[in-house]
Amino acid sequence: MKFLYHGIGLLFLARLSFAITPDGRIHANRPPRPSIPKLPLPPTDTPVASRNGTQLPPYNMVYYFDQLIDHNNPSAGTFQQRYWHTYEFYESGGPIILSTPGEVAADAYYTYLTNSTINGQIAQQLSGSTIVLEHRFFGESNPHSDLSVTSLRVHTIQQAIDDFEYFANNVQLPMPNGNAVAPGKAPWILIGGSYAGALTAYTMVNKPGLFEAGYASSAVVQAMVDYWGYFEPIMQHMPANCSADVQAVIAQVDSVLNSGNTNSINSLKEMFGVSNLSHLDDFAAVLRNNLFDWQSLQPTSGPGGAFYQFCDALEVKNGVSAGASGWGLTHALQAWGSYWTNTYIPSICGGLDAEDCLGTYDSTNPSWTNTAIPNAERSWEWLVCNQFGFFYDGPPAGQPAIVSRLVQPAYDERHCAYMFPGAFNSSTPTPNATGTIAAYGGWNISVDRLMFANGQRDPWLEATVGAAGTLAAKTTGLTPHALSDGFHCSDLLTRSNVDPSIKNVQANATMFMVQWIASWVPSA
């Protein structure tokens, strides 16, 4: 691990998912959500035991907390917020380690209770207990019975921060003396990755002293509307031949799509098997799909994943791989087009018409209008459209591009207006990213006893405190920033320690937590 004086920091996202709407239509032209890596669930037939051998409830036991619907109006009542908990490593005086998996249904993420993750590693080292708390508006933790604009009014970063505070101060943990470990009586540690990493940092800014220590992995603290920087670490770290050829194809795509020449445009679309896709920016945007596959990579990923299948399709010709500069435009264009027509489009669209599968201009499509719970994509988009932005766009002119410059913020802002009618006064509403930074800080967040960890190969690096050109990183003992050569949130996973730089980050994290918690004193 390196400590940064300046450098880069990133976040990780879940795999691209394909939403199937109630009318059976597939929508395969949607950006991915950021989220922490999913791990296999622990076997349910292995008993969980405390340090003295007493059998404990299984990891998959669901607990419910009566959470305030609206922290600005407690009289609005409560909803049931799910959580998971274990005290297998706990000993009296140990820390309470809280985390949320963020913008996902948490029942697939309770492995974050265990020492397969940094959460459990720290618990094991410090004799702590671990909690996984489902974020409001995800999974079964819903303040309201639908995801209408009216219901979503209480879906804000601040409400999620206030959830942490109200939970920590009021939960009666299902363990011996579980009613006597609130902050002040026991040290609490907050851990999060990706969006939940930003939430960890924002909470420590917003609620000083509530959490004694924090760990924020790939924390996307710098809200921004135009997040073209997402593709920069991908461009730098993908195989050189594939990077060169994707750049060549994208330059050609932009040249053709901007040419106004209908014949050339139609030939290009036909080459990619999407003749029926009417809007040129939909075509430009969906070409990002192959790059989005990068964000599911981890140090333990094998060579056969979707991202590498794509690069192999471009770079392996008659069994021979291209050199570092690629095969050049002619072959790359034909190879990408052929891969799409014969393999990729059938795999994401089945036999659907390209417009139905990939078009985004039908504002009545149920994938925009359906307000039923749960719908993690919709709940996340509410935060995106209001407070974060993070639109995956082409870069400014004059630099290499692996994404078309036809994809600009207005493309996604239009979707915000479709999804949340009545919420905005514009057909292309601008997310209030500057307000988020003003409220909680961005690249220059620095809070004592909050450790940031980032990965060089994380597409979210540029939204973290490790972003290139920021001077925010500090290396004092109370505000460490670590940079490994990992991917998105790699350092949250124990198994990532196959990479020595990540092993170092994790060892440092535990070392800092031991130091910081040792100096904790109960409040009078």
Ligand X SMILES: *[C@@H]1O[C@H](CO)[C@@H](O)[C@H](O)[C@H]1NC(C)=O
- Work out which of 26, 251, 423, 437 binds ligand X, going by CB under 6 A: 437
Assigned token pair, 52 = 């003295």
Residue 162 interacting with ligand X (CB under 6 A): no
Strands (E), 303-441: 316-317, 320-321, 389-391
Whether 67 contacts 154, CB under 8 Å: no
Assigned token pair, 397 = 């002119």
To ligand X, the closest distance from the beta carbon of 157 in angstroms equals 9
To ligand X, the closest distance from the beta carbon of 414 in angstroms equals 16
To ligand X, the closest distance from the beta carbon of 121 in angstroms equals 8
Interface of this chain with ligand X, residues 297 to 316, rule: CB under 6 A: 311-312, 315-316
> CA-to-CA distance for 380 and 102, rounded, in angstroms?
9
CB atoms within 10 A of CB 369: 16
Based on CB atoms, which residue is closest to ligand X, 90 or 230? Answer: 90
Residue 428 phi, psi (nearest 5)? -140, 70
Whether 65 contacts 167, CB under 8 Å: yes
Residue 5: alpha-carbon gap to chain centroid: 25
Buried b (16+ CB within 10 A) or exposed e, 306-344: bbbebbbbbbeeeeeebeeebbeeebbbebbbbbbeeeb
To ligand X, the closest distance from the beta carbon of 16 in angstroms equals 20
Number of residues located near ligand X, criterion CB under 6 A: 36
Residue 54 interacting with ligand X (CB under 6 A): yes
Interface of this chain with ligand X, residues 221 to 260, rule: CB under 6 A: 239-242
Interface of this chain with ligand X, residues 481 to 520, rule: CB under 6 A: 504, 507-508, 511
Based on CB atoms, which residue is closest to ligand X, 254 or 312? Answer: 312
Residue nearest to ligand X (CB): 435
What secondary structure, in 3-state letters, does 422-433 show?
A: CCCCCCCCCCCH
- Work out which of 262, 425, 476, 523 binds ligand X, going by CB under 6 A: 425
Based on CB atoms, which residue is closest to ligand X, 139 or 480? Answer: 480
- Work out which of 170, 255, 321, 515 binds ligand X, going by CB under 6 A: 321
> CA-to-CA distance for 213 and 451, rounded, in angstroms?
8
Interface of this chain with ligand X, residues 438 to 467, rule: CB under 6 A: 438-439, 441-442, 444
Residue 262 interacting with ligand X (CB under 6 A): no
Interface of this chain with ligand X, residues 138 to 157, rule: CB under 6 A: none
> CA-to-CA distance for 452 and 495, rounded, in angstroms?
19
Residues found near ligand X in the complex (CB under 6 A)? 1, 50, 52, 54, 87-88, 115, 124, 176, 239-242, 275-276, 311-312, 315-316, 321-322, 324, 353, 425, 432, 435, 437-439, 441-442, 444, 504, 507-508, 511
